[in-house]
Homo-oligomer: A and B are copies of this chain.
Amino acid sequence: MAGQVQRQTGVALWRQIADRIRQAISAGAYDETGMVPPETLLAQQFGVNRHTVRSAIAALAQEGIVRAVQGRGTLIERKERLNFPITRRTRFTAGIGEQARAMRGLLLSHSEERADEEVARWLKLRAGAPVIRMETVRKADDRPVSCATAWFPAERFAGLPAVYEKTESITRAFADLGLSDYVRATTEITAAHADAADLAALELTPGAIVLITKAVNTDLEGVPVQYAITRFSADRVQFTIEN
C-alpha cells in the first residue's frame, strides 16, 4: 500500500487512511491473515501517529467492515465490492444475484409528471409528454448499493410503481406489464462526491464517492422504455464491460 497521505487538503488524514484501508481490504490485500496490520505498523507506513490510524479504524468499525479486539488485532468482518456487469442484457437483480443472498429493490417515492428536455431526449418523446418517475434504492443483503431516479413512458407502463413495489425488480415489473424482454442501449458513467441525498439513501458518510450511470433501456424494437440516473457507492461496487 504505497503512497503517502496528504496534509492540509480539507480531507482529514484519518479519512484518507480509512479509504485506503477499505480499498486494500476489498482488493484482498489481507486475505492471508483475515486481519488488518497492527496500528503501530500502519502508523509507520502512512507516516502518521498511531492515534490517527485508530481514528481511521474506528470509522471502519462503525461501517461494520472491521472489528478491533484488544490483544488480538483488527479482524476483517466484511470484504465486499460487488461486481456489476454492463452488457446489452444488463439486469440489476440477476447481475448481482450470485454475489449476494438477498437482492431487493425498494420504492421510495413515485409521481407522474411531464418530461423535461433531458428526459424527453433520452426516451425519444416530445418534451411535456407524460412520464412516470420512480425513486428507488437497491439493497444486497440489506446493505444499500445504489439509488436511482428512473423515468418511464406513462401511457405504456401505467401502474408500474405498484407492480414494482410488489415485485421489487424492474425486470419482473416489466414482465408483469407485458414487456417480456428489454436491452441496454447506452450507459454513461461518471464519478462525484456523494451529495446529501446520496448519503441518506446509501447510508454513506460525507466525502464518500459515488459512481453515476445514466442509462437507457429499450424494447427489442429499439423503442426506449426506461431512462435512469443511478448512483452507486464506489466502495461497494465496480463495473465490468465485456466486449
Q: Which residues of A does B touch, CB under 8 Å? A: 2-6, 9-12, 14-16, 18-20, 23, 59, 81, 86-88, 90, 183-193, 195-197, 199, 205-207, 209-211, 234, 237-243
Contacts and interface: CB of A to CB of B under 8 A. Distances in A.
8 contacts: A2-B196, A6-B196, A10-B205, A186-B242, A187-B243, A189-B238, A189-B241, A190-B234
A209 B184 contact: no
Contacts of A185: 242-243
A184 B196 CA distance: 37
From DSSP, what is the main secondary structure of chain A's interface residues?
A: mixed
B240 A207 contact: no
Copies in the complex: 2
A201 to B, nearest CB: 12
A187 B241 contact: yes
A15 B237 CA distance: 25
Contacts of A205: 9-10
Contacts of A3: 195-197
Contacts of A11: 10-12, 15, 193, 206-207
Contacts of A241: 86, 186-189, 241
A228 to B, nearest CB: 14
A15 B16 CA distance: 14
Contacts of A207: 9-11, 16
A236 B61 CA distance: 33
A33 B202 CA distance: 34
A184 to B, nearest CB: 5
Nearest to A7: B206
A184 B242 CA distance: 8
Contact of A238 (B18, B184, B188, B243): B188
Nearest to A90: B243
